[in-house]
């Protein structure tokens, strides 16, 4: 982490930003003038991206509540302010929907902690800093990265889809609760080309054949949508489905 407590730039914390969607969001916000705090569990990749962006890196395990608190506090220690929180980090488990026995309580607990509880706790911990952002003239901003699976009855597993649906509703509840000083929105992508989905050939073919845009999203597509939500100073409580029109079919 490179401390810079007098940073004149607005500051964004992007969780799970060492690769894939999170890295694309971090790069886009840096291009838009934000000092970016990169988060992940890989010090090598996180440190390299933070240096590339002239930002800071904090390593934390979001399954651990003490680590969640430390993440926000170290982010604030790096720059002395926090204007934007992007809750991108998430966890998935691939389990056939009809394999109810495989969706154990342990799987439910694991996914709920990372996909629902962690984003909520980070918002709660960051709330004073985001309120301070509003005092500088623009509402504090939270963007949660949800999933198409939280909107439609599909997804890698029932626990995954259910936790993303819970994140969507949490987004709306927080938007109503924290307005007008803090805006809260979510992006719900469909299939996105990332290292995680590189071998999902059936899903990729499905998007090529049936999505009106004839392809899965790129991480940069998600980053563009996040940047648009951050740029607004009015929009709140929305779940933006980013699936290339697949929901229309």
User: Position of tokens 């809260």?
Assistant: 184
Place of tokens 């969640």: 68
Contact (CB, 8 A) for 172 and 120: no
Q: Is 160 a catalytic residue?
A: yes
Q: How far apart are CA 223 and CA 217, in angstroms?
A: 10
- Cβ atoms 180, 215 nearer than 8 A: no
Distance between CA atoms of 88 and 230, rounded to whole angstroms?
14
The answer for residues whose C-beta is within 8 angstroms of residue 166's C-beta and 6 or more apart is 112, 115, 116, 150
In angstroms, rounded to a whole number, what is the distance separating the alpha carbons of residues 22 and 25?
5
Angle formed by the axes of helices 158-178 and 105-112, to 10°? 30
* Catalytic residue of the set 34, 79, 160, 234: 160
Tell me which residues are annotated as active site. Answer: 160
């Amino acid at each position: 982490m490179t401390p810079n407590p007098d940073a004149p730039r607005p500051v964004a914390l992007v969780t799970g930003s060492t690769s894939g969607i999170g890295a694309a969001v971090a790069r886009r916000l840096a291009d838009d003038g934000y000092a970016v705090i990169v988060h992940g569990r890989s010090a090598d990749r996180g440190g390299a991206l933070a240096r590339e962006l002239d930002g800071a890196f904090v390593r934390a395990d979001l399954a651990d509540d003490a680590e969640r608190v430390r993440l926000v506090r170290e982010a604030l220690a790096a720059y002395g302010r926090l204007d934007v929180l992007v809750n991108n980090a998430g966890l998935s488990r691939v389990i056939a929907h009809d394999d109810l026995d495989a969706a154990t309580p342990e799987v439910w607990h694991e996914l709920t902690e990372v996909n629902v509880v962690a984003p909520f706790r980070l918002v709660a911990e960051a709330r004073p800093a985001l309120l301070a952002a509003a005092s500088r003239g623009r509402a504090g901003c939270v963007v949660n990265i949800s999933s198409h699976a939280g909107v439609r009855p599909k997804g890698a597993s029932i626990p995954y889809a259910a936790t993303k649906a819970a994140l969507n509703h949490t987004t709306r509840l927080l938007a109503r609760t924290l307005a007008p000083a803090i805006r809260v929105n979510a992006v719900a992508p469909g299939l996105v080309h990332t290292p995680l989905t590189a071998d999902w050939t059936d899903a990729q073919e499905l998007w090529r054949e049936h999505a009106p845009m004839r392809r899965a999203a790129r991480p940069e597509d998600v980053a563009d949508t996040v940047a648009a939500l951050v740029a607004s100073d009015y929009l709140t409580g929305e779940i933006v489905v980013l699936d290339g029109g697949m929901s229309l079919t």
